Amino acid sequence: MPQYDHSGHRSRMKQRFLKDLNFDNFEPHNILEILLFYSIPRRDTNELAHQLIDRFGSLSAVLDAPVDELIKEDGISENTACLLKMIVPLARAYNNDKYNEKTVLDTPDRISDYLLAQYIGYQDEVLSLISMDNCCRVLSYDIVVRGTNNHVAADTRRMIEILLRSGASSAILAHNHPGGFALPSLGDIKATRNVNFALKNIGVRLLDHYIIAADECISLKQSKEYTDLFG
């Protein structure tokens, strides 16, 4: 019985990608199949890609899956699991490197787009700080603290260290609600008030606090009931 020509298939798939340098016309399993080429040299990765998507439900769910769950699958080594787990952090690193120190965040839409890119794929709660100058140019983007169980404490001391180091005159606070809604809790309101007070003492304006959930990014300052938090 003739064997299937995996090398020829792989070459055709690579050339298909290289033609346009995007995945716009690829099915999710095809995207995963190509990615798996680079850690699995001698197996039909199309079959394995289907297996993974059937197991976890979607391409994004495969990339978000824990390492210990991935390596339970037949054909997934620790090396392959490591490759899969690199993709989402790599996307964040790309955005951070490309836009930091070049970006002007002077409108709510620009801020929302920037933050949604920074928060790709996080499954735990993350509190971040954008340090900016008087012209709303990004001086630095920093993760202040990461939490678990949908809770993260506002570490004002670390924020002050970051802002003083960058020479910022203004800042934007952001955090996410993984698996929840982009609505502020009482704890979020209290933390915003405390951070605003602390930053005033070092001459830095807290311009806004954004909450991210899925593809939503909500500005507290744009919500009329919270405008006074930034006075």
146: containing domain: 100-230
Instruction: Compute the average pLDDT of residues 211-230.
Output: 87
Mean pLDDT of 33-61: 92
Q: Answer yes or no: is pLDDT of 100 > 70.
A: no
Parallel, antiparallel or unpaired: strands 205-213 and 170-176: parallel
- Bridge partners, 75 (sequence order): none
Nearest one of 184, 177, 172 to 213, comparing CA atoms: 177
Is 186 within a domain?
yes
In the structure, what pLDDT confidence band is assigned to residue 3 with cuts at 50, 70 and 90? very low
Q: Looking at the predicted structure, is the pLDDT value of residue 96 above 70? A: yes
Asked if 46 and 133 sit in the same domain, the reply is no
Asked if 76 and 110 sit in the same domain, the reply is: no
Last residue in a domain, options 65, 87, 109:
87
Residues 83, 133 within the same domain: no
Q: What is the pLDDT of residue 72?
A: 94
Q: Which residues contact 83 (CB under 8 A, 6 or more apart)?
A: 35, 36, 38, 39
Whether 5 shows a pLDDT value over 70: the answer reads: no
The mean pLDDT value of the chain amounts to 89
CA dihedral (96, 97, 103, 108) in degrees, to 10, reads: -10
The answer to the question of residue 92 being in a domain is: no
Q: In what order do the strands lie in the sheet with 138-146?
A: 138-146, 126-132, 170-176, 205-213, 216-219
| pLDDT at site 2 | 42
pLDDT band with cut points at 50, 70 and 90 for residue 73: very high
Average pLDDT over residues 151-160: 81
In this prediction, residue 150 carries a pLDDT of 52
pLDDT at residue 6 in the model: 61
Assess whether 104 and 82 both reside in one domain.
no
Residue 153 has what pLDDT? 67
Comparing CA positions, the residue from 160, 164, 172 lying closest to residue 104 is 172
* Residue 49 sits in the same domain as residue 150: no
* Domain CATH for 62: 1.10.150
Domain total in the chain:
2
Q: Are residues 130 and 181 in the same domain?
A: yes
Choose the final residue of a domain: 39, 65, 87.
Answer: 87
Percent of the chain clearing pLDDT 70 (strictly above): 93
How much is the pLDDT for 223? 85
Judge whether 143 lies within some domain.
yes
221 in any annotated domain: yes
Final residue belonging to a domain, choices 33, 60, 87:
87
Cα separation of 49 and 10, whole Å?
Answer: 14
E strand map for 23-148: 126-132, 138-146
Q: Any bridge partners for residue 43, and if so which?
A: none
70 plus 108 within the same structural domain: no
Q: 104 and 80 in one domain?
A: no
119 shares its domain with 224: yes
Contact 75, 84 (CB under 8 A): no
Buried b (16+ CB within 10 A) or exposed e, 35-47: bbeeebeeebbbe
Give the residue from 44, 79, 50 showing the smallest Cα distance to 62: 50
pTM over 0.75: no
Residue-level pLDDT at 224:
79
Residues 24, 18: Cα–Cα separation, whole Å:
12
Q: What is the CATH number of the domain that holds 174?
A: 3.40.140.10
Residue 119, classified by CB atoms within 10 Å of its CB into exposed (0-12), middle (13-18) or buried (19+), is buried
Q: Is residue 135, in this structure, part of any structural domain at all?
A: yes
Give yes or no: residues 193 and 107 share one domain. yes
Residue 82 has pLDDT above 90, yes or no: yes
Mean pLDDT, rounded, for 148-173 = 85
Residue 4 pLDDT more than 70? no
Q: Which residue has the higher pLDDT, 231 or 38?
A: 38
> 62-94 burial by CB neighbour count: b if 16+ within 10 A, else e?
bbbbeeeebeebeebeeebbebbbebbeeebee
Indicate whether 94 belongs to any domain: no
pLDDT at 226: 80
Q: What is the pLDDT of residue 53?
A: 95
33/60 same-domain check: yes
Q: 151 falls in which pLDDT band (50, 70, 90)?
A: low
In a domain, 127, yes or no: yes
Q: Are residues 226 and 124 in the same domain?
A: yes
Supply the DSSP string of 119-149, one letter for each residue.
TTT--S-EEEEEEE-TT-BEEEEEEEEE-BT
**Is 142 domain-assigned?**
yes
